[in-house]
A and B are shown apart, each in its own frame.
Chain A
Amino acid sequence: MRVALFVTCLADLMRPNVAFAALKLLKLAGCTVEVPETQTCCGQPAYNSGDRATALTLARKVIDEFSGYEYVVLPSGSCAGMIRAHYEELCKDDPALLVKAKKLAASTYELTDFLVNVAKLESVPGDFAGSITYHDSCSGLRELGIKQQPRQLLGKMGQVEIKEMSEAETCCGFGGTFSLKFGDISSKLADNKCENACATGADAIVGGDLGCLLNIEGRLRRKGDRKTQVLHVAEVLAGKLD
């Protein structure tokens, strides 16, 4: 399987290890992985802000860069959701582009979804030992149906116990630029999330979207919690990176 890894702009800047972890997992699953060099961002911030022209410029670029691969995989439900659920609408006025956008959407996967349902990864190398509570990020959950996939993969790790929090499917308050525009509401929602997560007593809060994880970790640390780890599911599954 020839797979292109779309690193996502957030992982590129904020947590490269998430992308290295994804790379490791995809290789273990038997894929030939390429990382197109000119990739930047899927255009979601512009799209959600109503700047359609900018979003379209970036979508065109992504479509050019990633169309030649059998599969495109992203360690993010919201960026994968952007391509799968929104590129079609974004490209609707350009028939030639629309055809390509649809094709790309059909070959694009969120990482855990791809590992479970396409690559059928049997075992994972992660060595995390302890309890985990999983936050279901909104776009992955509601646009792509990511729910059981990460749990199935984490379940393959012998020493991991999953402790479900209440309201695991409720938004953490990130919402992209929402977190900057309405900081106090966003913090309040992050607070609710942290309370529910910490009530489980889990050692780590794990999720599949870096935006949510930065938001949750930011609130936890501000409240003085230095202990609870906040990790991307790819990091947990991949274990040590060389």
Chain B
Amino acid sequence: MEIHSNDFKARAREALADQELQKALKLVQVKFVPNRAAAAAEYGDFEALRDAGRDIRNRALENLDLWLERFEQEATRRGAQVHWAKDAAEANAIIVDIAHKNGVKKVVKSKSMVSEECGLNDALEAAGVTPIETDLGEYILQINDHEPPSHIVAPVIHKTREQITELFHAKHHKPRQTDIGALCREAREILRPHFLSADMGISGANFLVAETGSTVIVTNEGNGRLCTTVPRIHVALTGIEKVVPTLEDLSVLLRLLPRSATGQAITNYVSMNTGVAGSGDSDGPEQFHIVLLDNGRSRVLGSELKEMLRCIRCGACMNHCPVYQAVGGHAYGWVYPGPMGSVLTPSYAGMEHAHELPHTATGCGQCSAVCPVRIPLPELMRKEREMQVDAGLRPWTERLALKLWGWSASQPWLYGLGTAIAARFLKGLGGEEKLIHRLPLAGGWTDGRDFPAPAGKTFRELYRAKKELH
């Protein structure tokens, strides 16, 4: 997928001015946030569950190579073929090759963020294979001129129902439907024949289970199960970090994921795909290909950001992020938005393409307070800022300002003088109102806010004067 992360500022500004988007985004706050809170409260000791989730993911990552080997062995033993892709281009080439070898013309897809990461749909189309998105949200985006998703769990959260009504009316040439059920039915009628006529199904995988060689997906619509069982070929594409050692481990993560994502105790469907259809099986694919993508993950594993690989893609961090709530996912300019995206995008797509993102958070810590696997997201964003400073990627003005300020703050006498001057200067600017409407070099502040002026003398001065008096 093309990356626009360095345009964050401009995109965010547009988002703030977009009334329809602002209306749509309300749902995040009124639905996802309270639903997650209710599900966590109802569970009982959700905090202990989060600890367990963190530990399981850490265990898997500590010996990632071994668990992946075990996964490959078990999957292969059951008739699946495991492919290793070092980057997006390789993953796409592997999948296009599978399609070509098997004369595949049409593919049904269930939702996969890794396929977005790879730009798989474009690669398939270029190779003469038609991909059909079958997740309702992804389907809506596909018929809307391949619009990118804006959320990793609810890809179309940025649209209002009214917008979808108009889109369906325009694309399906049918009477306008305003009821959500009717809209779903309309999409379902169009998608059903595709499931039956597709030659190949592509899914992602929320988890890979090493001890059984299974890929696991959690969905609510049932399209995932059709994609993985009806066509004769199933391709599961996911990242190498998704492996967990055992089914027991999986059961813990399955308790965490839906509660954190949508506030459900369990999703409508939890599908485990293990091997190919055996003789006597009534369904299942003849071929099962599992494509495991690196694309920067092993680099993250060896870096200070490795905790990020624990991520189970629940979306809670973005749902609870005040910045995401204000500007939505498209502002972030790539596949992964919100706090997790601000950490991942520079790592996967290259810091130079996403140097704005580690700065797009207030550091409020709400994301890490809800992350089911306790990823310290603000800390990781801060580490990325350090990497930028070390690599000389920050503007020289900012670096100079910090150095000057830091230097003067280490010279108490000079600092005292500087702040005494600043206090008077700011007081003067504030005038009788004691409010500064425009502050030189701080337009970012005063464009939308006044700056309350100080009293005119620093504490240091006043305190010393008082002490001398006594």
Which residues in A have some Cβ–Cβ distance to B below 8 Å? Answer: 7, 9, 11-17, 19-20, 35, 37-41, 43, 45-52, 54-55, 57-58, 61, 89, 138-139, 142-143, 169-171, 173-190, 192, 214-215, 217-219, 221-222, 230
Q: In B383-412, which residues have CB < 8 Å from any A CB?
A: 384-389, 394, 398-399, 402-403, 405-406, 409-410, 412
In contact, B326 and A189 (Cβ under 8 angstroms): yes
B218 on the A face (CB < 8 A): no
In contact, A222 and B12 (Cβ under 8 angstroms): no
The segment from B274-282, B332-340, B356-364 that touches chain A is B356-364
Query: In the complex the two chains form, what is the Cα distance from A103 to B359 in whole Å?
Result: 31
A/B interface sample: 26 pairs, CB < 8 A: A11-B459, A13-B422, A14-B452, A16-B455, A16-B462, A16-B463, A40-B415, A46-B406, A50-B394, A54-B402, A142-B364, A142-B365, A170-B364, A176-B363, A178-B363, A179-B445, A182-B360, A183-B443, A183-B448, A185-B327, A186-B362, A187-B449, A189-B322, A189-B323, A214-B452, A218-B451
Please pick, from A20, A55, A175, A221, the residue contacting B362 in the complex, using a CB distance under 8 A: A175
Using known A-B contacts A20-B459, A182-B444, determine if residue A171 contacts B362 with beta carbons closer than 8 Å: yes
Query: In the complex the two chains form, what is the Cα distance from A12 to B458 in whole Å?
Result: 5
Query: In the complex the two chains form, what is the Cα distance from A230 to B451 in whole Å?
Result: 13
Q: Tell me the smallest distance from the CB of A53 to a CB of chain B, in Å.
A: 8
Q: Tell me the smallest distance from the CB of B104 to a CB of chain A, in Å.
A: 45
With a cutoff of 8 Å between Cβ atoms, the chain B residues found around residue A19 in the complex are 459, 463
B457 on the A face (CB < 8 A): yes
Query: In the complex the two chains form, what is the Cα distance from A218 to B398 in whole Å?
Result: 24
Query: In the complex the two chains form, what is the Cα distance from A124 to B447 in whole Å?
Result: 39
Which 3 residue pairs spanning A and B have beta carbons closest together? A187-B448, A175-B362, A50-B385
Query: In the complex the two chains form, what is the Cα distance from A40 to B460 in whole Å?
Result: 10
In contact, B447 and A187 (Cβ under 8 angstroms): yes
Main secondary structure on B side of the interface with A: helix
B137 on the A face (CB < 8 A): no
With a cutoff of 8 Å between Cβ atoms, the chain A residues found around residue B359 in the complex are 177-178, 181-182
In contact, B419 and A12 (Cβ under 8 angstroms): yes
In contact, B385 and A174 (Cβ under 8 angstroms): no
Query: In the complex the two chains form, what is the Cα distance from A219 to B452 in whole Å?
Result: 10
In contact, B382 and A47 (Cβ under 8 angstroms): yes
In contact, A184 and B459 (Cβ under 8 angstroms): no
B454 on the A face (CB < 8 A): yes
In contact, B326 and A13 (Cβ under 8 angstroms): no
With a cutoff of 8 Å between Cβ atoms, the chain B residues found around residue A20 in the complex are 459, 462-463
Query: In the complex the two chains form, what is the Cα distance from A221 to B436 in whole Å?
Result: 10
Q: Tell me the smallest distance from the CB of B215 to a CB of chain A, in Å.
A: 36
Q: Tell me the smallest distance from the CB of A197 to a CB of chain B, in Å.
A: 15
Main secondary structure on A side of the interface with B: helix
B81 on the A face (CB < 8 A): no
B190 on the A face (CB < 8 A): no
Q: Tell me the smallest distance from the CB of A80 to a CB of chain B, in Å.
A: 15
Query: In the complex the two chains form, what is the Cα distance from A181 to B359 in whole Å?
Result: 8
B interface residues, tally (CB under 8 Å): 58
19 more contacts with CB within 8 A, not counting A48-B382, A184-B447, are: A16-B459, A16-B462, A19-B459, A43-B409, A49-B394, A138-B364, A138-B366, A142-B364, A143-B365, A175-B361, A175-B364, A182-B12, A184-B448, A185-B16, A185-B326, A186-B362, A186-B445, A188-B16, A221-B435
Query: In the complex the two chains form, what is the Cα distance from A142 to B369 in whole Å?
Result: 8
Please pick, from A17, A39, A46, A219, the residue contacting B448 in the complex, using a CB distance under 8 A: A219
Interface flags, B1-43, vs A, CB<8A=1, else 0: 0000000010011001000000000000000000000000000
Query: In the complex the two chains form, what is the Cα distance from A19 to B450 in whole Å?
Result: 23
B126 on the A face (CB < 8 A): no
In contact, A183 and B327 (Cβ under 8 angstroms): no
B442 on the A face (CB < 8 A): yes
Query: In the complex the two chains form, what is the Cα distance from A13 to B405 in whole Å?
Result: 14
Using known A-B contacts A19-B459, A173-B362, A186-B448, determine if residue A50 contacts B409 with beta carbons closer than 8 Å: no
B423 on the A face (CB < 8 A): yes
In contact, A49 and B402 (Cβ under 8 angstroms): yes
In contact, A45 and B382 (Cβ under 8 angstroms): no
Query: In the complex the two chains form, what is the Cα distance from A19 to B459 in whole Å?
Result: 7
In contact, B409 and A174 (Cβ under 8 angstroms): no
In contact, A13 and B458 (Cβ under 8 angstroms): yes
Question: Of all chain A residues, which has the CB nearest B415?
Answer: A40
Please pick, from B406, B435, B451, the residue contacting A57 in the complex, using a CB distance under 8 A: B406
In contact, B410 and A58 (Cβ under 8 angstroms): yes
Please pick, from A16, A51, A180, A181, the residue contacting B457 in the complex, using a CB distance under 8 A: A16
